[in-house]
Structure formats: C-alpha cells, structure tokens
Amino acid sequence: MNSHQLLTVAFCTVVVVVDCLYFPAGFFFGSRLLDIICLVVTLTFCAFLYRAYLYPKFFTPFKQLNTPQDRSIWIGNLRDVHQNYNEIVTSWAHAFPKQELIRVYLLLNQEVLLAFGPNAVHDVLVEKPYEFTPGPVLKLIFKYAGIGGLFTADNQKHKIHRRKLARAFSPSNIERFQHVFWKIAAEMVTTIEKETSHSSSNGAGVIATEELVSRAIIDAFASTQMDEDLKCLQAKSPITDAYRDVWAQNKACKILIACLINSPSTPVPPNNEVRKAAKARKRIYDLVQQSLEKKKLKIHEGWHAEYENITSIMLGNDQFTEQETISHTLTYAAASYETTTLAIQWAIVALSKFPSVQGRLHQEIRAHLPPLDAVDDFSPHIEAVKRMPYLNAFCNEVLRYYTPISMTIREASQDTSILGTPVPRGTLVLVSHDTTNHDLGAWGPDANEFNPDRWIDSKSGFDQHKSRGGVHKNGRTLASFSFGARRCPGQEYAMSEFRCFMASLVGRFAIELEDPSAEVRVTGTFNLTPADGVRARFKKLGDW
C-alpha cells in the first residue's frame, strides 16, 4: 500500500473514531451510518483530488524533473490503457532528448521515475543494484508469470545464490551445452521440412515460428538444465501449451500491472485470462516438481550428471530449500523461454526485411560449418560458431534493435539518488532497455537503423567487447540482458543457443515473412512480442 492510500485509510479511520466518540448518532445527516459514509466518501474524494492534481503539481519531491504535459486524472500520461508500454516510453524519451531521467504518471496517476539514458540506467543497475531492487511490485508481477528465484531474491540471498549457480553457466559447460543446442536445432530444421513438404509446389511452406521455436527452446532447457528429454519438438507438449498460456495473456498482464503498480496489496480482478494463466502456472510448477523428485531419487541411487547444471547444483547443496530449487528452475526456464523465443522471432523478421543480410549470413554459415545431416560429433565446429563475425554481429544487432525484454521495474529500497536527484525510499523506477539500445549518443546517428556491421571491427572482426554489460569507454551499452549485479546470469547460455539455432535455420532455408510487405504488429507490456507469432515461409536451399 503506497503513501497516498495509507493517508486515505488513516483519515477515514480517524473520521470513524472521532464521529463515534465525540458526536451523537445522526449529528450531521440524521444517521450515524449515513454520517460515516458521507464523511468517508468526502475524504476519499479529497484524497483523489490530492493524488490526481495537488500532489503532481505542488507536493511531488521530483518537481525539478521534466514530465509529459498531457496528463489525465484517470490514466496519467498514458494515451491508451491498451497501448504497448514500450511505444509510449519511446515517445516520452523522444520528447526529452537531452534528459536521462523524467517523472511520468501511469494509471490513477501513480508517479514513477523513468530512467532511459545510459548514465541514468548505469546509476540504477550498475552503481546501485542493491539500492534499487525488484521490490514487492515486480515480485508479484514475476509471481504471476511463474518467476521468482534470483530475479526477486533479497540482496544477501541474491549474492549467495548467484555465486553458486554461476557454475552452471561456466564456459566449459556452455561448450557442452552447444552439442545439445545443435542436436535440437537439427531436429527443429527436420520438423520444419516435414511440416512444409506438402504445403506448396516450390518446396516452401509457412510455419508459425513462435509455436515451433518455443518447443525447441523448452527441449533445450529441459535437456541441459534438468536432464530431461521432453520431446516437445516431436509432439505438442502440455508444458509448451502451459508456457504459451502464461505469456500470451497480454490483457491479463496489463490488468495485473495496473493493480500492482498502484498497490501490491490491491486484489487482482479474477477474469478468465487471469484464471487461465494461474492454471497454466500450476501445470508448469507440478511438472518441474515431479522432474526434480525423479532426479533427486536418481542422485540418491548413485547417478551422476554428465555436467553441472542448475538443478544438479541445487539438489547437491543443502543451502537450497526444496521451494527455492523449484523457484530457481522455474525462473531460468521462463527466462530462457521468453527471451530466446522472442529473439528468434525478431531475427526471422530481420532476415525477411533485410535480404542482403540474409545472403551474407547464408554464405558465411555454409563456408564455416558442415551440412547439418553430416555431423555426428559437433565438437570440432563449436569454435567456428563462436568465431563467425557476421553471425555474431547479426545476433547482437537483433537483440539491440528489437530488445525483446524492453523494460523492467525497480523500487528504491532506501533513500538514495539517481544522477544526483534525491529518490525517497519506495519510489518506483521504470528502466527502459530499449531506449538505451537506441540512444543516439551511445550508438551514433544510425542508432535507429538495423546494421550488424556496427559490431564488426575492420581489423579484428566481431568485437565481443561491445556486447558485454556495463558502460564502456566508447559509450556503447547492449542493455538486452540488463547490467550490473542483477544482470541475466544466463546471457552466454542464451547467446550460444541463439547462434546455434540461427546458424541451422539460415544455413538450410531461405526465409521470408508470409506477407513481407505487412507491418509486424507488436503486443506485450514490458516485452516486444510479435502479435501473430511471426508466420514465415521457409524454402530449402540445396544440400546442407
């Protein structure tokens, strides 16, 4: 409950107590009940007037910060309650090109700070990661999506668990995972060929990319991190449908965020979409719990995993409770599912929009890698995937230009500051990764253009240093995996998976959208989600 709501409740409580103790029944309106109702309504109206008009204009501690002028008493600076948040945040950033921190008002005039410049984002996420924490709002939003674990862990627990789980994403483990990624990528390519073989006379068929890729991503995570072979690619799986039900509830997510940003204690309306998502979360939870129980029994019987992963680390460590083990597994699974699935969808969009880019990728992949069907042991080719300059540059540029997870929320856990501006405890801060990824000062005048060559150094080839988290001397920041102590710990895992999947797809097929001339409609709240799941045409090119 925020300060405005606490003030309203306190005033109403005082009114009831004073009316009962010091005034005879019906003193004002002939009935004590009517007296109380009328006074409470009057005070509630006064509190609303204070929140909607007086506070933003006269009493906010952020009067020195710029704010958009078009503010409604009901929806704040939003133009439409159904509008994609990233779209409106981008318009706010463009309205204040010389600012990095502004104040904005959301539904019911909830005040939040918007950090969108590289320096402001760096201050919040890198310099003060434990002063700006997920807070109760983000924790409940993540809980809705079946996420907890490291994303919402308190400061000390976050440090301990992150350090222990980092072993699962060590360079040696990432190399081992690539065998699995390549095997599943080959299965995905075979599935596409089967599903498109009878669809047209020219060998090209249309596939709903999101549906297919999500199955492959879940297979990859289950195999590498849970030692499970779910075979989602071979047949539709209940867990795939469950994840889609959770992440597809865009309207439900907006309802939830609208309620929680105003107060984490506000009850969420139990509409059909919220109920559907809740049932889906329960299905995912039960499946993960059953899988971990089976693995725990195997370990007790003397079984040893081929390599360390997050579940083997947690099951072999007494510091993780059963609930924490399930929570971390669900969190990593959800992060892997959402981020990589979106990245591949946007990569398909980019390949269709920029045929010359697709042509260069096709040549590079076929020049450095053997045909998919000719490789039983992928070990000799792991380094080749990592060292292909244009493939790496393309993957990074997709993540920069489209920024799948475009925003996050932080809350000041103590009195602190951003770029010298005092920030009281409890202040909500929206951090925009997308505007950071398109900042003209950081990326140059072509920041709003898709250009993989920006990642390639003329002398040394692909410049990996430009893709790491933080602010570098050249001012460039790839914000897609966040920054600082709370940045995505699975970044290298995701990038390795992304590269393998794209190499297999572009090496085998010519790819274009079902309707190349149509604009891709975007949905999502804090992520950029193609509305149609990216329906694309895949045409096999020769033998590879």
Rounded mean pLDDT of 323-333?
A: 87
Q: Is 46 annotated as a binding residue?
A: no
- Classify domain 149-540 at the CATH class level: mainly alpha
Please, which residues have CB within 8 angstroms of residue 87's CB and are 6 or more apart in sequence? Answer: 522
Helical pair 355-368 and 322-353, crossing angle rounded to 10 deg: 110
Using the CB atoms, write b or e for 338-369: b if 16+ within 10 Å: bbbbbbbbbbbbbbbebeebbebbbebbbebb
Please, which residues have CB within 8 angstroms of residue 24's CB and are 6 or more apart in sequence? Answer: none
Closest to 126 (Cα-Cα) out of 402, 479, 430: 479
Please state, in angstroms and as integers, the Cα–Cα distance from residue 233 to each residue in 229, 477, 533, following that order. Answer: 10, 35, 17
pLDDT band at residue 72 using 50, 70 and 90 as cut-offs: confident
Residue range 498-537, pLDDT digits in tens:
999 999 999 999 999 999 988 898 887 778 888 888 999 9
For the chain, the C-alpha Rg in angstroms (whole number) is: 26
| Structure tokens belonging to residue 249 | 């509830």
User: HEC states along 266-330?
Assistant: CCCCCCHHHHHHHHHHHHHHHHHHHHHHHHHHHHHCCCCCCCCCHHHHHHCCCCCCHHHHHHHHH
Residue range 106-163, pLDDT digits in tens:
877 889 999 998 899 999 999 999 999 988 777 776 766 666 778 778 888 889 889 9
- For tokens 């995905």, the residue is 188
The CA distance from 323 to 340, in Å, is 26
Residue range 336-374, pLDDT digits in tens:
888 899 999 999 999 999 999 999 999 999 999 988 776
Rounded mean pLDDT of 194-208?
A: 75
The larger pLDDT score, comparing residue 171 to residue 12, is at 171
Helix (H, G, I), strand (E, B) or coil at 457: strand
Residue 122 belongs to what H/E stretch? helix 118-122
pTM equals: 0.86
